[in-house]
Chains A and B, each alone.
Chain A
């Protein structure tokens, strides 16, 4: 049976999970520490690989007034850490069709009018577990610089932690998603190499060859495919 191993010689440390005190070996992630203490975690786990954003968590360290955030599947517990999962944070999502939207730049203000109300507190940037300059991305979106939004926010895992902190009550990650899609679908030209290949496929250029290969007896097919 497979197990997530505790490193040899790991010391026990004290942590608080959802407000309750536990002893766990060091070297575990927050999620593993929850398993270790018998918690069944379903809301709050998706990929276990740091990309799905299901495992948003908040934590504090003693003697430190800061409230920290993390992805619980990727963050190691530390001695005296107190943490909780926030498996879902509600936010507004616009309903639109990116392909037919008349003017994507104007569209932002219709779909997300609150995007223009950023108060520059920078809380979103400070909270982002992916290290994204979220505040800047909101401003760039408002100014119509969707290209820069794209570059800044590509690693967003949609965990919603920025929403939990925004004093203007907006959903910066949804705004960024909109801006990225508008950039990809409406600003960038359709890629020429794909266009050319699509035309050839639709003209049936490969049908005869593929049909022939598909009709070969397995030994002949193997022979044809053997060399690169």
Chain B
């Protein structure tokens, strides 16, 4: 039985026999051809050139230009009137309660700073909690941070920033030690070492994980410590705008309480943006693996205040998102299943790409198969290919899939797909924002006293992130920038609330008016995607 039960054309009715012969190899220039023809980043459609702001001239996906070249949610003069007193006055304001924000808050608090963490949903409702596969850290006897550096630099197509990468690989073991001492249960091998697994694009097994609950396991622990830490916490309080202080610096932020609708103003000596990624913008109409709040708000607010962005043309479409049953569209099937030996097959049951190629290459190959008529059609009219996990059990012993990937088995099971015997229908899903706000090794942006950490920042992964390097970045830079931002806050020259304003918003809007006279521009940050019953929504 399958999810669509009595409905029309069920793609599970005609699964071909799967031919295990090796897929064709991909040689040198073929890889580039495949990427430029099929990978969304390299295709010309749905792109625009930014006309306003400090990245003027950059070509980015339409959905990115729409949020960057947008009007403020502070619509009226009244909205923009700075109240007599701020609602809170802190050393460090952290915006976003995912992995980077929580980590930064814990370290900042420990350093003695007065910290406020404000987040859009509940603390921990984030992309971090969803991470399945694991974290890269070079622990193998034949491995080292140097190998890790080389793999990540190669994986990022040689445009990642070397200094950011150096810090990432060098401080990695420290933050993992921090998590282990808090009782985070990474899988162990029989001698008590952290188990190391292989991920795509790496030269050594380097991935540590907590079954396929890595993010959940970490978030449960950090959230408990954070709630107990004494850090002030605002939940359901999305930031809508940053505040400008003396000399173009950042001086706090404005929040809109979800329940009361009221604006809340925070004065801060340092502001750390840890708002994560952009999956819910559904760039190129792709489904997404991201949590409900991944709408790129940090990019919008930082850009308006004058912070530069980098690599905003580069996104990770994870090759294996569920495409059927359609109500699960976008849900991630971790790359670790391919590391363990899962295979991809097209409509005729043939393998078409080496499964452990980098993510972009595998995604491009899947798109190619579907565009050239070798994809499997779903009842909703989409196309996908088969991801077969049964080969894992055949190669590594009955029960391996259930043991290593209990979450996938459970979730697919809820939708009546037994993935230990049935292949999963997949298509690339919008997964990760490779670029972001430009930063240095201290988390600085081009705006004084505005810092970034985690997925909202750009540079370290170049134009392609390898699995497991993002979680590592979140904890390494969360810790580092949390400490640096609170230290620099305490050293900052005092300034008064009267020097704080949102005049940068007006300046930005004037620039927009000059470039797009009379054009209706949408409002951003988006805060929450809206899938309700609108006329243009298929659910209608």
Interface residues, chain A, CB within 8 Å of chain B?
Answer: 1-10, 25-29, 32, 35-40, 42-43, 45-52, 54, 74-76, 93, 95-96, 98-99, 130-131, 150, 154-158, 177, 180-186, 188-194, 197-198, 201, 206-207, 209-211, 213-214, 216, 218, 221-222, 224-226, 228
Contacts and interface: CB of A to CB of B under 8 A. Distances in A.
B473 to A, nearest CB: 16
Given A40-B532, A47-B125, A218 B158 contact: yes
A98 to B, nearest CB: 5
B122 interface: yes
Contact of B125 (A46, A183, A188, A197): A46
A177 B539 contact: no
A46 B180 contact: no
Contacts of A189: 192
Please indicate which of the listed interface residues B173, B186, B213 has the most CB atoms of chain A within 10 Å of its own CB: B173
Interface stretch (B4-12, B265-273, B452-460): B4-12
B327 A27 contact: yes
Interface residues of B, number: 97
A6 B382 CA distance: 12
A133 B411 CA distance: 18
B270 to A, nearest CB: 27
B20 to A, nearest CB: 25
Contact of B173 (A46, A47, A194, A225): A194
Nearest to A224: B150
B447 interface: no
Contact of A184 (B162, B183, B291): B183
B7 A9 contact: yes
A5 B326 contact: yes
Contacts of A157: 216
B183 A183 contact: yes
Contacts of A194: 137, 139, 173, 176-177, 180, 193-194
Contact of B538 (A6, A48, A76, A228): A6
Q: Is the interface of B mostly helix, strand, loop or mixed?
A: loop
12 contacts: A2-B288, A29-B327, A35-B539, A37-B533, A46-B292, A93-B224, A93-B228, A154-B210, A155-B410, A191-B194, A210-B169, A225-B149
A28 B211 CA distance: 29
Nearest to B192: A189
Interface in B370-418: 379-382, 406-407, 410-411, 414-415
A169 B349 CA distance: 54
A93 to B, nearest CB: 7
A192 B9 contact: no
Interface in B427-459: none
B292 A48 contact: yes
A4 to B, nearest CB: 6
A7 B4 contact: yes
A158 to B, nearest CB: 6
B125 A54 contact: yes
Contacts of B536: 1
A214 B166 contact: yes
A208 B32 CA distance: 34
Nearest 10 A-B pairs (CB), nearest first? A181-B183, A46-B125, A185-B183, A2-B282, A5-B380, A184-B183, A3-B538, A228-B203, A193-B193, A9-B8
Contacts of A29: 327
Given A183-B183, A194-B180, A47 B129 contact: yes
Given A193-B194, A194-B176, A2 B285 contact: yes
B497 to A, nearest CB: 30
Interface string B125-162: 11001100000011111001110011101100010001
A221 B382 CA distance: 42
Interface of B: 3-4, 7-9, 121-122, 124-126, 129-130, 137-141, 144-146, 149-151, 153-154, 158, 162-163, 166, 169-170, 173-174, 176-177, 180-186, 188, 191-194, 196, 202-203, 210-211, 213, 215-217, 220-221, 224, 227-228, 236, 258, 282, 285-289, 291-292, 325-327, 329, 331-332, 379-382, 406-407, 410-411, 414-415, 528, 530-533, 536-540
Nearest to B531: A35
Contacts of A155: 213, 406-407, 410
Contacts of A43: 236, 258
B130 A49 contact: yes
Contacts of A228: 151, 154, 202-203
Contact of A214 (B162, B288, B291): B162
Given A35-B532, A154-B211, A48 B4 contact: no
Contacts of A2: 282, 285-288
A9 B121 contact: no
A49 B293 CA distance: 12
A51 B292 CA distance: 12
Contacts of B216: 51-52, 157
A118 B297 CA distance: 46
Given A156-B220, A177-B221, 4 more contacts: A2-B282, A76-B415, A184-B184, A213-B162
Contacts of B129: 46-47, 51-52
B12 to A, nearest CB: 13
Contacts of A99: 181-182
A199 to B, nearest CB: 10
Contacts of B176: 194
Given A27-B326, A201-B174, A8 B379 contact: yes
